[in-house]
Amino acid sequence: MKKKISNYIQDLVYRYPALAECQESIMNGFQIFIECYRHDGKLLIAGNGGSAADSEHIAGELMKRFKIGRSVPQSLADRLCEIDEIRGKRLSGNLECGLMAIPLVAHEALSTAYSNDVDGCGVFAQQLYGFGRMGDVFLAISTSGNSENILNAAVVARAVGIKVVGLTGQCGGELAKWSDVSVKVPEKETYKVQELHLPVYHCWCMMLEEYFFGQNRDGRAEIRSGG
């Protein structure tokens, strides 16, 4: 498995040579994610603009299959069929195990209410405080590393025992100070930073999928998600 996971990093650097200098931080971030999921934690993700779209994208890759099938545990499949033989059979074949990920950009009623009633720059901090628990991880995406709403959430994360993985541009900004791991891709202009963020988080998603589901591709994954 280690070799397969290493191959993802090697392929990433082969296709995006500029990311060679980020290999160590990418792997360190991956280790934090593994520890989180092994202890039934979840990933909380936030960013602004294009990085908000990235937050949704990452959750989509983690909550269902990316490249490897993620069949539900046999115990759940059996229970579904016991409850409803017809629907249960279909559900047990179609449901997929997920790695829990919550994009904090996706809750419009909460975010607009808090922005209007309390503090526009505290939206992500409020959501993280509400959704997060010790042992979770906050994936903080900011091309500059200085987005105030991201920094506020990072401070709250540190206060409540949630580790922070920062995904930024070359300078890292203030976010690097609050991050347990900071992946600073070697670009400064926003769109160029975003162009390198995507292959980094795709690599993370593939490595996590390989780690948790790769050995079970011919059977039923025994990770949490209903079994």
Task: Please report the pLDDT score of residue 218 as a whole number.
Answer: 39
Do the Cβ atoms of 54 and 194 come closer than 8 Å? yes
Mean of the pLDDT values across residues 173-193? 98
**What pLDDT was estimated at residue 226?**
37
Top pLDDT among 154 and 221 is at 154
Q: In this structure, are residues 153 and 102 in contact, taking their beta carbons and an 8 Å threshold?
A: no
Domain ranges of the chain: 2-63+99-216, 68-97
> Is residue 221's pLDDT more than 90?
no
Domain 2-63+99-216 sits in CATH at 3.40.50.10490
* CA–CA distance, 220 with 78 (Å, rounded to integer): 12
Model pLDDT, residue 216: 56
pLDDT of residue 220: 35
The pLDDT value given to residue 3: 77
Residue 147, helix vs strand vs coil: coil
**Statement: residue 1 has pLDDT above 90:** no
pLDDT digits over 36-45, tens only?
999 999 999 9
The yes-or-no verdict on residue 225 having pLDDT over 60 is no
pLDDT band of 138, cuts 50, 70, 90: very high
DSSP structure class, residue 71: B
Specify the 3-state DSSP secondary structure of 96.
strand
Give me the chain's average pLDDT, please.
Answer: 93
84 close to 78: Cβ distance less than 8 angstroms: no
Mean pLDDT (whole number) for 114-120 = 94
- Give the pLDDT confidence of 186-209 residue by residue, as tens digits: 999 999 999 999 999 999 999 999
In a 3-state reduction of DSSP, which class is residue 172? Answer: coil
pLDDT at 203: 98
Give me the pLDDT at residue 217, please: 47
Q: What is the pLDDT of residue 174?
A: 98
At 53-103, the pLDDT tens digits run: 999 999 999 999 999 999 999 999 999 999 999 999 999 999 999 999 999
Among 142, 152, 134, 217, CA closest to 183: 142
Q: What is the pLDDT of residues 3-24, one digit of tens each?
A: 789 899 999 999 999 999 999 9
Q: Round to whole Å and give the CA distance between 100 and 62.
A: 7
* pLDDT number for residue 4: 86
